[in-house]
Amino acid sequence: MNADYVIVGAGSAGCAIAYRLSEAGHKVLVIEHGGSDAGPFIQMPGALSYPMNMPLYDWGYKSQPEPHLGGRELVTPRGKVIGGSSSINGMVYVRGHAGDYNHWAESGATGWSYADVLPYFKRMETWTPRGQGGDPDWRGKDGPLHVTRGPRDNPLHDAFVQAGEQAGYPVTEDYNGEQQEGFGPMEMTVYKGQRWSAANAYLKPALKRDNCELTRAFARRVVIEEGRAVGVEVERGGKIEVIRANREVILSASSINSPKLLMLSGIGPAAHLAEHGIEVVADRPGVGQNLQDHLEFYFQYASKQPITLYKYWNLLGKAWVGAQWLFTKTGLGASNQFESAAFIRSDKGVDYPDIQYHFLPIAVRYDGQAAAEGHGFQAHVGPMRSDSRGEITLASSDPKDAPKILFNYMSTEKDWEDFRKCIRLTREIFGQDAMKPFVKHEIQPGDALQSDEELNGFIREHVESAYHPCGTCKMGAVDDPMAVVDPECRVIGVDGLRVADSSIFPRITNGNLNGPSIMTGEKASDHILGRRLPSSNAQAWFNPNWETSQR
């Protein structure tokens, strides 16, 4: 088996690359360990808590005991299915802030400033705002990825935005447009009531072409001969074989599995590879380092009015929602229910938002456990730019062994300050008049917890990953010892090998990572094809008073 380009991983970035390279006439082969994404658990947006917790679709990774969280091991879901994590995620669509990409460019990822990436965000999208405002000039009109908004017909969605406005924050019609900062409608990758994963948007159309092929196999390592990647060693049906790449191998296997594959192939920190008896091909100390994620907790309130989704949180209700979706692709099952959002700054002197809110009209956990209180609602909240850094390392030289994942969450004093600030700012927002008709009492953290120490105890026990791991194969300047890939996504020190997925992010972006990961695949495909979209001269909005006021 061989192709011009062999892509490891049919996830957010890999699907986009397969689509663009095959569109340009190249023979492409995609290797994916996971199976089909058919069936309602993945395709029905309202069922999002299921696939993330199913071993059939998830690699089942866990962090090492986190030293600053009392030794808790946090689950780290990654999609093991066509579409990768875009098939098991919450479908929230956030581009990230202009400031994120400008920071990338300043830190050595030249050509990845906001002006450079905005044209790719526009190329990948078809945006349908449902008549809820926003500026179409900032958005894409005919891309493969459909982005839309929920109906927002639960009065809680509007009350949340009004409360933010009453607390003195801006309102934004489109956080993915000119102005991210503020309260407004949330966007999702849903099309005609169906999850619009990277598989539905990119891979399935690409596979209709004669020059794009998908093979189910477990990638063991990249085969490197005389300093050049020439293929991928895979296991299929109990046999080990090599799939050859005539031009390049592209790793899009996730921020967990891409560094693992590089290390198994002899690319990584020399001493660590030697520990596991792996011959060093390229000593790249940055491989597996710089691991980042977003942590959040669920701020839960009991509702005075029985208007939340809790009324469907029983066998009959779920059956009704499921049946309505199955036959008509409409109703509550056609939305991820994250229909209002906010991005705010934690303090004066912070130049762009560093706190994100997802608002949900039910009090429930990601694993589908509803709050015992009955009717309630919640806001997921957490800081966006923690200074904590973790690492991915090998447990052994056996490709079958899961890598060791240590996020090193909450390792700085500032992390704790930022989280306490999140709690206090959120209480203030939910204390506004707009929420008065709905707020009965605070379920979690609970009014009793007020002091720094009490809040720290709550944070230690209750923060959860937002499942946004990234940064483990950092993109940067060729002379940066910690950079793994150059700004063309080429692995430094090896020919014919690129990495393109969230592992190459120099620093985590503001919000959910599926959008930026797909953009990375779109832009990487142009680097591979030796072409580039012209940069944009659109200027994103920064709060003019950021130096002197928090809102």
Domain locations along the chain: 2-39+198-287+473-529, 54-78+144-195+292-465
Q: What is the pLDDT of residues 499-546, one digit of tens each?
A: 999 999 999 999 999 999 999 999 999 999 999 999 999 999 999 999
pTM of the shown model: 0.98
Is 468 in the active site? yes
Q: Binding residue per annotation — 237? A: no
Question: Do 396 and 364 meet the contact criterion of CB atoms below 8 Å apart?
Answer: no
Q: What is the pLDDT of residues 466-487, one digit of tens each?
A: 999 999 999 999 999 999 999 9
Determine the pLDDT at residue 143.
98
User: Residue 49 — pLDDT band, cuts 50, 70, 90?
Assistant: confident
User: Residue 53 — pLDDT band, cuts 50, 70, 90?
Assistant: confident
Q: Is 258 helix (H, G, I), strand (E, B) or coil?
A: helix
Question: Do 179 and 353 meet the contact criterion of CB atoms below 8 Å apart?
Answer: no
Question: Do 182 and 343 meet the contact criterion of CB atoms below 8 Å apart?
Answer: yes
Question: Vertex 369, ends 364 and 375: CA angle to 5°?
Answer: 45
Q: What is the pLDDT of residues 297-340, one digit of tens each?
A: 999 999 999 999 999 999 999 999 999 999 999 999 999 999 99
**CA 410: distance to chain centroid?**
20
Q: Binding residue per annotation — 89? A: yes
Determine the pLDDT at residue 366.
66
Catalytic residue among 33, 97, 157, 468: 468
Rounded distance, CA 76 to CA 421, Å?
26
- Identify the H or E element spanning 220: strand 218-225
515, HSE (Cβ side, Cα atoms, 13 Å):
29
Q: What is the pLDDT of residues 219-239, one digit of tens each?
A: 999 999 999 999 999 999 999
- Give 162: exposed, middle or buried? Use CB within 10 Å, 0-12, 13-18, 19+: middle
| Residue 350, pLDDT above cutoff 80 | yes
Q: Binding residue per annotation — 188? A: no
| Residue 7, pLDDT above cutoff 90 | yes
Question: Do 251 and 11 meet the contact criterion of CB atoms below 8 Å apart?
Answer: no
Residue 69, φ and ψ in degrees, nearest 5: -115, 35
Determine the pLDDT at residue 166.
98
Q: Radius of gyration of the chain from Cα atoms?
A: 22
CATH architecture of structural domain 2-39+198-287+473-529? 3-Layer(bba) Sandwich (3.50)
Rounded distance, CA 149 to CA 336, Å?
10
| Residue 110, pLDDT above cutoff 80 | yes
Q: What is the pLDDT of residues 377-429, one digit of tens each?
A: 999 999 999 999 999 999 999 999 999 999 999 999 999 999 999 999 999 99
> For residue 68, what are the CA distances in angstroms to 115, 415, 468, 508?
38, 11, 19, 20
User: Residue 365 — pLDDT band, cuts 50, 70, 90?
Assistant: confident
CATH topology of domain 54-78+144-195+292-465: Glucose Oxidase; domain 3 (3.30.560)
Q: Binding residue per annotation — 92? A: yes
Residue 521, φ and ψ in degrees, nearest 5: -65, -45
Strands (E) in 413-546, as ranges, are 439-444, 464-465, 497-499
Q: Binding residue per annotation — 268? A: no
Question: Do 299 and 445 meet the contact criterion of CB atoms below 8 Å apart?
Answer: yes
